[in-house]
Amino acid sequence: MPAGRPGPAAQSARRPPPLLPLLLLCVLGAPRAGSGADTAVISPQDPTLLIGSSLQATCSVRGDTPGATAEGLYWTLNGRRLPPELSRMLNASTMALALANLNGSRQQSGDNLVCHARDGSILAGSCLYVGLPPEKPFNISCWSKNMKDLTCRWTPGAHGETFLHTNYSLKYKLRWYGQDNTCEEYHAVGPHSCHIPKDLALFTPYEIWVEATNRLGSARSDVLTLDILDVVTTDPPPDVHVSRVGGLEDQLSVRWVSPPALKDFLFQAKYQIRYRVEDSVDWKVVDDVSNQTSCRLAGLKPGTVYFVQVRCNPFGIYGSKKAGIWSEWSHPTAASTPRSERPGPGGGACEPRGGEPSSGPVRRELKQFLGWLKKHAYCSNLSFRLYDQWRAWMQKSHKTRNQDEGILSSGRRGAARGPAR
Amino acid sequence: MDLRAGDSWGMLACLCTVLWQVPAVPALNRTGDPGPGPSIQKTYDLTRYLEHQLRSLAGTYLNYLGPPFNEPDFNPPRLGVETLPKATVNLEVWRSLNDKLRLTQNYEAYSHLLCYLRGLNRQAATAELRRSLAHFCTSLQGLLGSIAGVMAALGYPLPQPLPGTEPTWAPGPAHSDFLQKMDDFWLLKELQTWLWRSAKDFNRLKKKMQPPATAVTLHLEARGF
């Protein structure tokens, strides 16, 4: 179309050099280098061999091309020229090659054995597959997310290095119902894993195994028998929040939500909390957090950032006494404890927060109480409630203290004795 | 159209019919609209993006094929690749292509190439390679859609496949693995060449669309052959 075409000067300025040779090449006249496969053939084609074995190969030049002779032919393996002493002419049109003690294939697509003409052009090629048969996969472990699906993971035998492409297939069947099924969704959680999304039956055990196959053979793992209800796990508890506890410098309050599946599937959950200081790699674990959705961490360092995670284990599934599998840890949440108050005569420079008493004798008792709490499992309901009661009482007494000193001292002493066990 | 990693497309019959059913984008309202300019620009940008994506995909794939395929000066014989749409063309022929033909050639080329690329999803390739290939195919599908958009905006019909000329790739199951590797090599090369050429094609189209409104009207009336 003539309209709108830029002038020749502009066009030549625009034309990029690399494309020019290509554009000038006329399709019909383009010579095809060598017309390889028509002129020679390698035998054997695409053989599969065990590591350490030998190979005799031949490159036969087709007689129809004028001047076709095996003279001057040479071999390359994976792009590297093979020493001439390994090859010899069998007859005028055939060159033979002898390879011994083969190593495992350099790439899983096969080693490239190529027969070249004297001028270097490629006449024919063959892919060599040198490797080992697969070894028995082992260590199968499976888990079910909320009883809806099954994810399994395994370890390939011989660390998976067979030098050949090895296909892993996870199979499963109900113990007394005969029909084999194959898992379809691979690489769910890593290279040797598979995910079965649906159609799983409860109350009857499954038999699960992994079959590994490659060109040289196959292997089958031992059969794992399991009941879906025994390997249940859930998502980690959502919405984990960590916050300070008023002005208390050595405590943090952790709150979370129970996993939604709990309601759907009527199981109970137990939780575990772990926390660590920002720069440390050592986690402290709080166990025995049964069926609560909050916990208070005590005995922490003031003015420090802590990372906290929570995980969950379902149990009591349909009345079973067994625990399930621990979920993943929740995403780490962080919070920092308040900086420690400067110790000063009678109350110091800090503002009391939330009605916390700041005068000397009361702080002493507070410290005693906290000291006691540090030594005990902090997540039991009793101490939590009791502490809150104690605090509420202290708040009230702080207000009335100004009105009547005398009554307060006797009441305080009584309260101090209360929590001590 | 979903491309799951691991889908194997038959060697003999390429399920390309879906490609031909790319919905025709309704032609833009000619009065007071920006014209096909923005979508040509978008198509140009897409070819550059794909070119970039292909570079890393081809690098990985050729490493998987192993030397000598990943050597820079590797030039094997071209066999059995007559069915590949060739980007190389005589300069005068290329220059004299009208817009419709230029766009049609691009559209047909990428339809074929996409089909072959899907067949490339070899059984033996690693899961990661299959994922990269699938991702590239999706991007290429996007390019096809973009070209279709430009054609529709200019009022050109999308090329329909003639019966019996559905692209079939391999010569058959007797095809040796080494020959298959060579085919794969040339497919990637041809794809690369087409993307280079397309950038020039769309750049040319872009420059043509730049003139003011009156010239555009003339242009639109003039097309029809």
Pairwise CB contact (< 8 Å): A107 & B63: yes
pLDDT at B143 over 60: yes
Cα-only R_g, chain A? 38
Confidence of residue B12 (pLDDT cuts 50, 70, 90): very low
For residue B211, the chain A residues in CB contact (below 8 A) are: 4
Chain-centroid distance of CA B93 in Å reads 20
pLDDT at B192 over 60: yes
Looking at residue B189, its pLDDT comes to 92
pLDDT at B194 over 90: yes
Distance between CA atoms of residues B1 and B115, nearest Å: 13
For residue B86, the chain A residues in CB contact (below 8 A) are: 27
How near does any CA of chain A get to the CA of B208, in Å? 5
Residue with tokens 């720069």: A279
Lowest mean pLDDT among B50-54, B94-98, B104-108: B94-98
* 3-class SS of residue B198: helix
Lowest mean pLDDT among B12-26, B139-153, B178-192: B12-26
Residue with tokens 């003039």: B222
Distance between CA atoms of residues B13 and B19, nearest Å: 14
Residue with tokens 């506890």: A245
Q: Residue A75 belongs to what H/E stretch?
A: strand A74-77
Pairwise CB contact (< 8 Å): A165 & B123: yes
Query: Which amino acid type is present at position A99?
Result: L
Interface mutation target, options B62, B175, B177, chain A, most CBs of A under 10 Å? B177
How near does any CA of chain B get to the CA of A122, in Å? 6
Looking at residue A375, its pLDDT comes to 56
Pairwise CB contact (< 8 Å): A32 & B66: no
Cα angle A274, A275, A279 (rounded to 5 degrees) comes to 140
Pairwise CB contact (< 8 Å): A127 & B181: yes
Pairwise CB contact (< 8 Å): A33 & B76: yes
How near does any CA of chain B get to the CA of A65, in Å? 16
β-pairing, A138-145 vs A232-233, is parallel
The tokens describing A153, both together, are 């993971």
Query: Which amino acid type is present at position B75?
Result: N
For residue B91, the chain A residues in CB contact (below 8 A) are: 20, 23-24
Q: Is residue A186 a contact partner of residue A174, using CB atoms and an 8 Å limit?
A: no
Cα-only R_g, chain B? 18
Q: How many CB atoms lie within 10 A of CB B186?
A: 18
Q: Is residue A118 a contact partner of residue A72, using CB atoms and an 8 Å limit?
A: yes
Q: Which residue has the higher pLDDT, A23 or B101?
A: B101
Q: Which residue has the higher pLDDT, B206 or A75?
A: A75
Query: Which amino acid type is present at position B179?
Result: L
Q: Is residue B85 a contact partner of residue B112, using CB atoms and an 8 Å limit?
A: yes
- Shortest CB distance from B76 goes to which of A27, A46, A122? A122
pTM of the entire predicted model: 0.68
Taking only the tens place, the pLDDT of each residue in B21-60 is 444 444 444 455 667 778 899 999 999 999 999 999 999 9
> Which residues lie below 8 Å from residue A295, measured CB to CB, with a gap of 6+?
A253, A254, A271, A273, A286, A289, A378, A379
Mean per-residue pLDDT, B105-109: 93
Chain-centroid distance of CA B131 in Å reads 19
Which residues does chain A have with pLDDT short of 50? 1-37, 344-358, 377, 380-382, 405-421
Looking at residue A223, its pLDDT comes to 95
Q: Which of A218, A410, A231, A194 is nearest to A320 (CA)?
A: A231
Interface mutation target, options B89, B123, B178, B190, chain A, most CBs of A under 10 Å? B178
CB pairs under 8 A between A and B: 130
Distance between CA atoms of residues B133 and B192, nearest Å: 14
Looking at residue A3, its pLDDT comes to 42
> Which residue of B lies nearest to A109 if distances are taken between CA atoms?
B65
The fraction of chain B above a pLDDT of 90, given in percent, is 39
Q: Which of B137, B133, B131, B6 is nearest to A185 (CA)?
A: B6
- Shortest CB distance from A107 goes to which of B64, B127, B176? B64
Pairwise CB contact (< 8 Å): B65 & A107: yes
**Angular region, B80: left φ>0, alpha ψ -120 to 50, beta rest:** left
Looking at residue B97, its pLDDT comes to 86
Looking at residue B207, its pLDDT comes to 87
β-pairing, A232-233 vs A241-244, is unpaired
Distance between CA atoms of residues A367 and A343, nearest Å: 13
How near does any CA of chain A get to the CA of B188, in Å? 16
For residue A25, the chain B residues in CB contact (below 8 A) are: 88, 90
